[in-house]
């Protein structure tokens, strides 16, 4: 098959879905690889680098789309990008079908077979295609780098001739993929890290990464835990206890990184305005939940603000794109693993096997049908 990587058109998006290195893997599966000119420029991959990897470069999106059987990209397609596609073509990208009903209908009407990278089931076998995790890992790491860049002090403690420096205290709220990556980055910079999650089973993971789990004195320790490893909304009593604990911690913490999300809901408000007011000048909050409304009351999505008491609040929503080269390498790998599953004989022939849990789970339109939401996966 001919696989084509489009240049992203979303403002500021630096990622690309095919890299020169992932192109090599796709070729070994028997595919031809194509890209639009400039597709990798913002991630550091020139047209010449693609050409050296045996990739055909096309002068624009229309020519690329026309030349290929499978279009791969990062962001959900724009109306214009989708309109260029034809019946029977396959699209692989983030899609967010739950928030993009019209896009789903348009893909169905056009007869485009769309595979949503955000719908890959989170089962062990599919980890190599789990782009939500690979991007959350980058976001958690980058959140710490942004915090450090906005913090006028060391993260690590030091004893020097010029004076003794205590380590920065970092609180990570929510210890899913992004939160655990943030814990790893902050501990490796030498900070003293604390972390909280409503799912008590993550306490062990938090501690194994060198951070301290913030325990709540609450009788029902399973209060916020849903089945399948996700959170559910906390009871008002649990939330009150949690906020009480955070109020206790707020004056002490130099950095707060919030990552708390509940599937299908706006982000829970966990870092309230009064907590921000209690923090020391120079402290930094990075709110990774900004796109879903933010965990902090004062977060402004896509912006960095400084409060009257000198607390910096970062609500950027493009953390993976801020590390475009790394994010493209990992996303490119997720995409090529998806294509490896779709090419079982490694002979360049695509087999869209709707009996396969992973392929079925991620397919949102197929043969003029909307196939989202999928039935629950059989393998856990
Ligand atoms: P997420 O982005 O949905 O949520 C981030 C974290 O916020 C979660 O840990 C959640 O428990 C927490 N949270 C929600 N409400 C909170 C509150 N009020 N206070 C504090 N924390 C709160 O999570 P995610 O990173 O997508 O991971 C979700 C689950 O999926 C985890 O159990 C993870 O281990 C699992 N997972 C499995 C696989 C796999 O097996 N392939 C891959 C990735 C993730």
Burial (CB count <10 Å: 0-12, 13-18, 19+), residue 353: middle
What are the pLDDT tens digits along the chain (380 aa)? Answer: 999 999 999 999 999 999 999 999 999 999 999 999 999 999 999 999 999 999 999 999 999 999 999 999 999 999 999 999 999 999 999 999 999 999 999 999 999 999 999 999 999 999 999 999 999 999 999 999 999 999 999 999 999 999 999 999 999 999 999 999 999 999 999 999 999 999 988 999 999 999 999 988 776 655 666 656 788 888 899 999 999 999 999 999 999 999 999 988 999 999 999 999 999 999 999 999 999 999 999 999 999 999 999 999 999 999 999 999 999 999 999 999 999 999 999 999 999 999 999 999 999 999 999 999 998 766 55
Q: Is residue 110 lining ligand 1, measured as CB closer than 6 Å? A: no
ipTM: 0.96
Segments in 311-350 forming alpha helices (H): 324-341
- Tokens at residue 263, please? 């599937």
CB-neighbour burial class of residue 79 (10 A; exposed 0-12, middle 13-18, buried 19+): exposed
Per DSSP, the residues of 54-122 read TPEEESSHHHHHHH-SEEE-SSPPPHHHHHT--TT-EEEE---GGG-HHHHHHHHHHT-EEEEGGGS--
* Selected catalytic residue, list 15, 75, 84, 130: 130
158 catalytically annotated: no
Cβ distance 372 to 59 under 8 Å?
no
CA of 36 to the centre of ligand 1 (A): 35
Task: Judge if the beta carbon of residue 96 lies within 6 A of ligand 1.
Answer: no
Atom of ligand 1 nearest to the CA of 178: 25
Neighbours of 277 (CB within 10 A): 14
Looking at ligand 1, which residue's alpha carbon is closest to its atom 35?
229
Structure-token pair, residue 334: 């997720």
Residue 230 annotated among the catalytic residues of the structure: yes
The set of residues, in sequence order, having a beta carbon less than 8 Å from that of 368 and lying 6+ positions away, is: 108, 109, 111
What span, in angstroms and rounded, lies between the C-alpha atoms of 290 and 67? 38
- Tell how far the Cα of 203 is from the centroid of ligand 1, in angstroms: 13
Catalytic-residue membership of 254 = no
Q: Which residues pair with 173 in a beta bridge?
A: 196, 258
Whether residue 315 has its Cβ less than 6 Å from ligand 1: no
127 is catalytic: yes
Count of CB atoms situated within 10 Å of the CB of 151 = 18
Is residue 130 annotated as part of the catalytic site, yes or no?
yes
């Amino acid at each position: 098959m001919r696989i084509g990587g489009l240049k992203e058109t979303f403002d500021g998006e630096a990622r690309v879905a095919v890299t020169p290195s992932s192109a090599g893997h796709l070729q070994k599966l028997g595919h031809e690889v194509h890209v639009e000119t400039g597709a990798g420029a913002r991630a550091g991959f020139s047209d010449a680098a693609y050409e050296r990897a045996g990739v055909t470069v096309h002068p624009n999106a229309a020519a690329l789309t026309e030349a290929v059987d499978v279009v791969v990209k990062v962001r959900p397609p724009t109306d214009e990008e989708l309109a260029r596609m034809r019946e029977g073509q396959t699209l692989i990208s983030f899609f967010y079908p739950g928030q993009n009903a019209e896009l789903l209908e348009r893909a169905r009407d056009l007869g485009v077979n769309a595979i949503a990278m955000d719908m890959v089931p989170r089962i062990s076998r599919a980890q190599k295609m789990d782009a939500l995790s690979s991007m959350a890992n980058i976001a958690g790491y980058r959140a710490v780098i942004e915090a450090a860049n906005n913090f006028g002090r060391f993260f690590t403690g030091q004893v020097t001739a010029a004076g003794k420096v205590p380590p920065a205290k970092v609180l990570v709220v929510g210890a899913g993929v992004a939160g655990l990556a943030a814990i790893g980055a902050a501990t490796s910079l030498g900070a003293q890290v604390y972390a909280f999650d409503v799912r008590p089973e993550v306490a062990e993971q938090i501690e194994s990464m060198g951070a301290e789990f913030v325990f709540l004195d609450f009788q029902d320790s399973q209060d916020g835990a849903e089945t399948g490893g996700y959170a559910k909304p906390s009871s008002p009593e649990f939330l009150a206890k949690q906020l009480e604990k955070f109020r206790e911690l707020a004056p002490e913490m130099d950095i707060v990184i919030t990552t708390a999300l509940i599937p299908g809901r706006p982000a829970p408000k966990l870092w309230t305005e009064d907590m921000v007011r209690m923090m020391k000048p120079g402290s930094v909050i990075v709110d990774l939940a900004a796109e879903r409304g933010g965990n902090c009351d004062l977060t402004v999505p896509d912006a960095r603000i400084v409060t009257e008491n000198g607390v910096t609040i970062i609500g950027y929503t493009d953390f993976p794109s801020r590390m475009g080269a790394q994010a493209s390498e990992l996303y490119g790998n997720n995409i090529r693993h998806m294509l490896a599953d779709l090419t079982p004989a490694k002979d360049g022939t695509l087999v869209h096997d709707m009996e396969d849990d992973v392929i079925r789970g991620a397919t949102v339109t197929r043969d003029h049908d909307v196939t989202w939401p999928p039935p629950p996966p059989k393998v856990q």
